Structure 1
Amino acid sequence: MGARRFNIHEQISSADELFLARLAAEVSECHFRAPNLIEVRWGIPSASEADEPKLEPGRLTKAQLADLEAAVNLFVNRHYHDARTALEPFVDMNHEEASKLYIKVLQKLRVPDWDKTARRINRVSTDTLFVPAGSTEVIDGQKVFLIHQGLSKSIGHDAPRCVVKYVIHHEMLHEQLGTSADNPHPPLFRRLDRSFPERVRSVRWLQKHSFSTIDGGPL
């Protein structure tokens, strides 16, 4: 089953809001023995844990390589609109690593239909992680845990309770361990992540609905 396209203007129900807050409190108390001090909210996560792109000079002319290097520099310097334009020719030629970076750019720009583009690109690059189920972000100066609205009942796939709890647990675990973008899932993280009850069921559900997980293939 493919991931559904979501309209950023759709509204989560108040029941879903209360449901998420209740599950966040349960996860925090049961698994971390402490109250959660970071807001958990529905949204469309912009984070992605796919590998950073590598240049493949053997497939490119010198001019193309220079253009791709410039596009990467635009991304690093957060000039996302310019990076998007610079990367489009490489997406058209199905350059795998440039296409991965292009997905990241669309996420940073919060393009509403970025997931549709990612699914198309994913047919070329099978290891691309294209729909994060959750992320930790800073919005209006405040750190928040974002849980993809596709898991909600009111405008999403009505994910099982254990799936939503697993995603919340995953994000809280990042916070508790202080993981970095360079190494988001060190061995201790993976060991604690695997200890979550009903993890196998949760991960399988996420994979079935085209959400990314830290497990690359079937469990």
Structure 2
Amino acid sequence: MGVQRYNIHEKISSADELFLSQTAAEVSECHFRSPNLITVRWGIPSASEADEPKLAPGELTQTQLIQLEAAVLLFMKQEYELARTALEPFVSINHEEASKLYIKVLQKLRVPGWDLIAQRINRVSTDTLFVPAGSTEVIDGEKVILIHQGLSKSLGHDAPRCVVRYVVHHEILHEHLGTIPEDPHPLLFRRLDKSFPERARAVAWLQKNSFSTIEGGRL
């Protein structure tokens, strides 16, 4: 089916908003025995827990290698628009690591339809999907959990209840364990994640609908 293109200005239905709020409260109480103190809302996650890509020279010329190193430096300096322009030639030749970094740049810039671009690039460069179903981010100074609106009924694929519960659980688990970007899914995290009821069904649905999971890509 694939991940659809979403307009960030479209409005999630009030029923979906209520459903997500209730789901977050239920997951917090049932699995963590405490109220959830982080706002959980629908949105398009921009965060990715993938490791920063390493340079892989491959068949690049010395000039191309210098250009790629410059693009990586622009990314590290958070000059994302310049990095985007610098990386585009490498995306056009299907350079895997440059393509991964390009996807991260689009996420940082919140480019509309970045998920479709990521899906197209992914088919060429790697078996890993780069469309996160959820993420924990800081927006306007507030930490929030974003659940991709592709899981919603009003704007998305109407994901089964267990799928939304699993994604919410996954993100709250990150906060509960205090995981870090350098090691987002340590052994304890994976054990608790696998203990979630109907996890297999939820993961299968996410993979079928082009969302990343802890097994294939990073959720």
Same fold (TM over 0.5): yes
Are residues 1:180 and 2:180 paired?
Answer: yes
Deviation string for 1:18-71 (max 9, x for gaps)?
110000000000000000110000000001233421212242111111111111
121-130 vs 136-145, greater mean Cα deviation: 121-130
**Offset at 1:9?**
1.5
Among the aligned pairs, what percent are the same residue?
79
Aligned residue for 2:173, secondary structure, equals helix
Gaps of 5+ in 2: none
Please say if residues 137 and 145 of structure 1, whose CA atoms lie closer than 8 Å, have aligned partners that are also in contact.
yes
Query: How much has 1:104 moved relative to structure 2?
Result: 0.6
> Aligned to 2:138, what secondary structure does the other structure show?
strand
Partner residue in 2 for 1:82: 82
> CA separation in 2, counterparts of 1:57 and 1:201?
39
Match of 1:140 in 2: 140
Q: C-alpha distance in 1, partners of 2:177/2:118?
A: 30
User: Structure 2 matches for 1:63-102, cutoff 5 A?
Assistant: 63-102=63-102
SS in 2 for 1:59: coil
Query: Cα deviations across residues 102-124 of structure 1 (Å, max 9, x unaligned)?
Result: 00100111111111111111111
25-34 or 72-81, which deviates more:
72-81
Q: Is the 8 A contact 1:50 1:129 kept in 2?
A: no
SS state at 1:124 partner: helix
1:25 is aligned to 25
Q: Is the partner of 1:144 in helix, strand or coil?
A: strand
**Does the 8 A contact of 2:128 with 2:216 survive in 1?**
no
Q: Distance in 1 between matches of 2:128 and 2:121?
A: 8
Residue 8 of structure 1 deviates from its aligned partner by 1.2
The residue aligned with 1:12 is: 12
Residue type of the alignment partner of 1:135 = S
Residue 198 of structure 1 aligns with which residue? Answer: 198
d(CA) in 1 for partners of 2:59 and 2:128? 20
**For residues 3 and 164 of structure 2, what CA distance do their matches in structure 1 show?**
16
Shift of 1:212: 0.3
Q: Does 1:37 align with 2:37?
A: yes
**How far, CA to CA, are the matches of 2:62 and 2:181 in structure 1?**
31
CA-to-aligned-CA distance 1:119-174 (integer Å, 9 cap, x gap): 11111122333210000000000000000000001111001111000000000000
3-state SS, counterpart of residue 123 of structure 1 = helix
Q: Which residue of 1 aligns with 2:117?
A: 117
How many residues end up aligned between the 2 structures? Answer: 217
Q: CA RMSD in A?
A: 1.1
Other structure's SS at 1:206 match: helix
Distance in 2, matches of 1:128 and 1:74, equals: 24
The residue type paired with residue 169 of structure 2 is H
Q: Which blocks of at least 5 consecutive residues in structure 1 are unaligned?
A: none
Q: Distance in 1 between matches of 2:8 and 2:19?
A: 20
In 2, Cα distance between equivalents of 1:120 and 1:184: 26
Q: Structure 2-normalised TM-score?
A: 0.96
Quote the Cα distance in structure 2 between the aligned partners of 1:2 and 1:44.
Answer: 15
CA contact (8 A) 1:163 1:202 kept: yes
Question: What is aligned with 1:56?
Answer: 56
Structure 1-normalised TM-score? 0.96
- 1:155 maps to a residue whose letter is L
